[in-house]
Chains A and B, each alone.
Chain A
Amino acid sequence: MTVPMSYYLVLSGLVFLIGLVGVLTRRNIIIILLSIELMLNATNINFVAFSAYLGNVAGQVFVFFALTVAAAEVAVGLAIIIALYRHQSSINVDDFRLLRW
């Protein structure tokens, strides 16, 4: 029995939305980072599902690139968070309001 394509799409849509809402609602910058990772992983589900469905490896290749880029992004992101924490002693995004207006 195969799982229909639409299941994958719904799954990835839900994961993407969970990530999106997480970015909007969470205040802890690490959780926001994780939420962004969820969004990226939702796209990876999409790519793999489409790839299997279409019988075309290009999507899986894309996933490798996306994973690598995400890893690099997280590395830089965590470094920024550490610098920020040293400065503000907080990782709550509500505290970062030096720049506004």
Chain B
Amino acid sequence: MTLPLADLLTILPELLIVGAACLLLVLDPVMPPAKKSLLAWMSLGTLVLCFFISASSMNDRVFAFSDLVVVDPYASFWKLLLYLVSALTILLSMTYLKEERIDLAEYYGFILLSLVGMMVMVSAADLLTIYLGIELMSISLYIMVGFKRFEGKSIEASAKYFILGAFSSGILLYGISLLYGIGGSTRLSEISAVVTSRGGDDPLVLIALMLVIVGFGFKVAAVPFHMWTPDVYHGAPTSVTAFMAVASKAASFGALLRVLLEGFGGVKPNWNGIIFAMCLVTLGFGNLVAIVQTNIKRMLAYSSIAHAGYALIGLVVAGQAGAESAVASQGVSSIMLYLAIYSFMTVGAFAIVAIVRRSGVEGEELEDFTGLAKRHKGAAFLMMVFMVSLAGIPPTAGFIGKFYLFMAAVNAGLTWLAVIGLIFAAVSAFYYLRVVMVMYMREPSASQESETRLALTPATAIVLACAIAGVVFLGLYPAPLVSVTQSAVLPF
């Protein structure tokens, strides 16, 4: 059997990135240490190339490998976002790894491999490819989380993530095996047909559905499958945390939406209630627990849980039984918009955490930010904008994202879901603004002033510039991104 060339061309970006990753791993031992940053630039170059390839095929809709893979506008949108986030992570890591003295080129290889996993997830049309994508992403992430291998926290986080991640994919895989038993195939389209014909009351369908939701709930960090998030985000190197909080969440949402809406589109009432309940507890839990955190990375971890809750509002809208397709696609596009905006502000916030260093350690405790505005005005200002945006205050992009989500909820007749979202958004201002308060309204101690410095290099400056540009520009002029998300929704 030969592989048709057309199929290979369809997954050209994935192939390129895998190639680059392998090349990296091979070149790493033979490169002189001084030239290792070349490898990072090489991976960046690959990402830029892939960005153009995916952007040029943005409007195509192609199936490949006998329907295992699909490249449609929806997948391309997520891929573009993932390239961007990966590129920012690589740029941030170049400085961060040096500061933490874990500057190994294989790290970039793992980022690229993980990225391929995510790309496979979002363009999978078959549960097999989805599973492979998830595992490729996760296994690379397990390693990256433990990258500070001389530090107990990092290794511990890695072990916890590994155990729980493998556990949850076991659950997911069991669900997939049941679905295969029901449908005789793992194609989403065929599963959809069988599920629709067997109806929502079939216990096997229900159990499989539940197991799949648990598996994905874990990946997107929705309550009650979120327990790993704070520990792992806290222990992992900050650049990896940023990557996980943004890229892996986006890819998991991308795959989750496709599985639920395409595979289980026929039994919407059966999963919508569950998603609804998850959405409520996720919003409540993430926002309330974030209030009592004193470590910024943990606070951002809870905030990322809360943001998963906001995004789930869009899924509830899309899964609303009997909603018009216009409303349903509004739900999907608002999730895409929200996660795109969320990427900018979260990467920005983590970047600040990574570059504010106190006595050679990153500034991850809230206390490390005391009076930052006095000494490092720029960093404090950027952090303020990211926090304000995360809290959803206009005219930053964070407001636009929330506005579209809540608007979609109101349009779908879920007015009081929007009310709950609004209330929690109001609560969230409390913990985000606390960071601003610490930076702007506290006097730093003398030792603190002399100990704190910024690891500001051209690379980190680019990251911050991109993040702030995204947050401000998308807040002031979101129209282009909105129209892209609206044209790239899943077909209903």
Contacts and interface: CB of A to CB of B under 8 A. Distances in A.
Q: Do chains A and B touch in the complex (CB under 8 A)?
A: yes
A42 B178 CA distance: 11
The secondary structure that dominates the B interface is helix
A3 interface: no
Interface string A36-79: 10011011101101100110101101100110010011001101
Given A29-B159, A73-B166, A98-B153, A62 B180 contact: yes
B156 interface: yes
A36 B173 CA distance: 12
B152 A88 contact: yes
B457 to A, nearest CB: 29
Interface string B244-273: 000000000000000000000000000000
Interface string B146-180: 10010011011111101100110011011011101
Contacts of B174: 16, 39, 42-43, 46
Listed residue (B139, B159, B170) with the most chain A CB atoms within 10 angstroms of its CB: B170
B156 A69 contact: no
A59 to B, nearest CB: 6
B235 interface: yes
Contacts, number: 117
A80 B185 contact: no
Interface residues of B, number: 37
A47 B176 CA distance: 9
30 contacts: A36-B166, A39-B173, A43-B174, A44-B177, A46-B177, A46-B178, A47-B180, A54-B184, A58-B180, A61-B128, A62-B128, A62-B186, A65-B131, A65-B132, A69-B131, A72-B135, A76-B143, A77-B162, A80-B146, A80-B159, A80-B162, A83-B146, A84-B159, A87-B152, A88-B152, A98-B156, A99-B230, A99-B231, A99-B235, A100-B231
**5 cross-chain pairs, A with B, having the tightest CB-CB distances, nearest first:** A39-B170, A46-B177, A50-B181, A99-B231, A43-B177
